Amino acid sequence: MLNETIGPINDRLYRLGTRESIIYLVKGHTHMLIGGAGQWIVPKLEEQLREYRIDMSRVGYLLIGHSHFDHSGAVPYLQKKYPHIEVLASRGAAKLFAMEKAVRNMARFSGMAMEALGIPPEIDGIPLAFDGVSLSKTLADGDQIDLGAGIRFRIFETPGHSRCSIMAYAPNQKWLFPSDSLPMPINGGEELVCTASESFVDYLQSMEKVAHLPVELCGWEHYGYLRDASAENIVARSRAVTRKYKQMLKERAQPPGDAATCAKWAADAWEQATQFSFLPRPVIDYITRTMVENALTENID
């Protein structure tokens, strides 16, 4: 069953943020934040840091799973308030953060979300506007992050949702943090929503990289986490859901239907399933149009 509880998961792991936009705190000798979230969670995040008496001076790293604005939007604020934190992301994310047009789009979409959600423009005198991310280090397949106290993460490059996506896995704890590189859980974890927004082929191939890993906790940056028996077969479930979804889009997009009608149906269904309050409808339309096009042209066999 999907666990949506905010706060301590165990003595080494916390879930922070909101239901829709999550940051995890991992406590080793050095602490690490996983996920950059959207800046609209910052007021709630600061409350939680105080409530759980989290010593931010011990947070050495912040790991960005991919560069999309709802997974990196809080980073500029956190870098200003806690400048000692080293921000880590993939080589692909570094390229996007260096592109003026990409940063401008992230600022525009995150600004729209802030306005829609009624979030103030600054907290404690620190602006929340997205003005770029400065990385301390880029990561690639096989790189490791050692937090001490037996907590060590291995990085997997996992394109498919985005070209810059990575997953992080802690082998000793059997914790997997997929960002959006696995379908998202909804309805208590009974259903998974496909997030193959750039390529079904890459998305499935990326899952193959982690299919052999034992998983006792899978923590998404939207909605929550699965653990124990619910998490054991998550990669196999994700592969099956992705294949089924691609085939359904392909069938609906062919006569007597068409690609445009299918994309509209997919956008409505995706919006209803996710209930994201921060994602503008034009973004959802773009995502689903791309998935329909890929469903028709990509061969996953």
Kindly report, residue by residue over 160-193, the tens digit of the pLDDT: 999 999 999 999 999 999 999 999 999 888 899 9
* Global confidence as pTM: 0.96
Tokens representing 2 are 């999907």
Residues of the chain with pLDDT under 70: 256
Q: Which residue has the tokens 């770029």?
A: 132
Instruction: Give the amino acid at 136.
Output: S
C-beta separation of 64 from 87 below 8 A: yes
Quick one: pLDDT at residue 4?
86
> Phi/psi at 285 (nearest 5 deg)?
-60, -45
Q: What is the pLDDT of residue 164?
A: 98
Taking CA atoms, 170 is separated from 28, 68, 167, 214, in Å, by 12, 23, 10, 10
Which tokens in the block code for residue 20? 């829709």
If you search the block for the tokens 């704890």, which residue do you land on? 173
Residues 210 and 179: beta-carbon distance below 8 Å: no
* Residues 37, 245, 225, 216, CA torsion sign: negative
- The region that residue 53 occupies, defined by phi over 0 for left and psi between -120 and 50 for alpha, beta otherwise, is left
DSSP 191-212: EEE---SS-HHHHHHHHHHHTT
Q: How far apart are CA 149 and CA 82, in angstroms?
A: 23
In this predicted structure, what is the pLDDT of residue 231?
A: 96
Task: Tell me if 147 sits within 8 A of 170, measured CB to CB.
Answer: no
d(CA 288, CA 221): 20
